[in-house]
Amino acid sequence: MSPGREKYDGTFFGRDNGFTEWGDSFGSKSQARQSITPKRPAKDPRFLESESDFPEENEKDRYLITYSDLITLLLGLFIILYAISNIDSKKYEQVLSAFGKTFGSQKQVLNINTASSNNSIVPAPKLIDRISELIQEHSFGDYVKLEENERGITIHIMDQILFNSGSARLEPKSYEVLSKLAELIRGLPNDLRIEGHTDNVPIKSSEFPSNWHLSVARALSTSYFLMDKEKLPQDKLSVVGYSEYKPIASNESPEERSKNRRVDIIIIKE
């Protein structure tokens, strides 16, 4: 080996700058590739705590929030039911007014105890009593009958006070009956149905080819009188003809057939 040549003994020398140096066979030193080991970045202090680090405590009791909301709603419901359990007009108005303020409703509150002339609801028993008093007071009992059923209150008016035989023109003697009845039902919010009925004796004339035509024409004449003369609201009235097919008595005698020739005014239940 030549003098002055530095011998490489195979030893690696560590450096603080992260590089590794070694000697070559000619006595010079070569710089090796820089070997960098990535370091794990420090955690941001803002994210040191996470849900996984600190799981929520008492998670099993979260149902209590929903349960307490339910109990509050049920309490409010029972208070409302208790408040309206007894039909008291003042309580009724207060409850509806409270709902109106809460939900923004501006509808008028109806007083269930006021008269029909004030455009409010009249209970069926009270209305029946008033019609019955009217029938007795004016001696309408022979040709005006009253009935209550699932459809509502029905006022049967026999044709002997309304029409001549085979005619659909109202007789003047019927005006008083219809006018007095109109006074009681004019302010009701209920719909009114005018129905025409005949007996089973066939009719065939130039004006009415069948009992169907006659029953409809009589119902129309009655409804027009109530709308035109008595100013009942037209959107509340409807007209139906049933011919002979809705009898309230048998057709075996003239007396029974006369009961079937009628016009019915039905105050329909809401």
The pLDDT mean for the chain works out to 77
Give the model confidence (pLDDT) of 218-239 as tens digits: 999 999 999 999 999 999 999 9
**CB 222 within 8 Å of CB 178:** yes
| Rounded Cα–Cα distance for residues 194 and 91 (Å) | 37
In three-state secondary structure terms, 51 is: coil
Residue of 122 and 210 predicted with greater confidence: 210
Indicate whether 112 pLDDT > 90.
no
Least confident segment among 87-91, 148-152, 186-190, 222-226: 87-91
Could you tell me the residue ranges of all domains in the chain?
1-35, 73-109, 116-268
pLDDT at 43: 53
Indicate whether 27 pLDDT > 60.
no
User: Positive or negative CA dihedral for 157, 161, 163, 164?
Assistant: positive
pLDDT at 68: 87
For residue 77, name the pLDDT band (cuts at 50, 70, 90).
confident
Give the model confidence (pLDDT) of 127-185 as tens digits: 889 999 999 999 999 999 999 988 899 999 999 999 998 999 999 999 999 999 999 99
- Assign a CATH topology to domain 116-268: 60s Ribosomal Protein L30; Chain: A; (3.30.1330)
pLDDT at 69: 87
pLDDT at 64: 81
**Which residues 6+ apart lie within 8 Å of 61 measured at CB?**
none
**CB 242 within 8 Å of CB 197:** yes
pLDDT at 78: 84
**CB 267 within 8 Å of CB 153:** yes
Nearest to 269 by CA among 88, 121, 158, 87: 121
Indicate whether 23 pLDDT > 60.
no
Nearest to 205 by CA among 179, 231, 167: 167
For residue 106, name the pLDDT band (cuts at 50, 70, 90).
very low
Residue 196's φ and ψ, nearest 5 degrees, are: -100, 140
Indicate whether 82 pLDDT > 90.
no
**CB 143 within 8 Å of CB 157:** yes
Residue of 18 and 85 predicted with greater confidence: 85
Residue 185's φ and ψ, nearest 5 degrees, are: -105, -5
pLDDT at 94: 67
Tokens of 122: 């009249």
Beginning with the edge strand found earlier in the chain, give each strand of the sheet holding 29-31 in spatial order.
Answer: 13-14, 20-23, 29-31
| Rounded Cα–Cα distance for residues 249 and 268 (Å) | 22
For residue 122, name the pLDDT band (cuts at 50, 70, 90).
low
Nearest to 112 by CA among 134, 90, 84: 90
| Rounded Cα–Cα distance for residues 146 and 141 (Å) | 9
Mean pLDDT of 190-207: 94
Residue of 256 and 30 predicted with greater confidence: 256
Angle between the N-to-C axes of helices 63-83 and 89-103, in degrees from 0 to 180, rounded to the nearest 10: 140
Scanning the structure block, which residue is given the tokens 């105050």?
A: 267
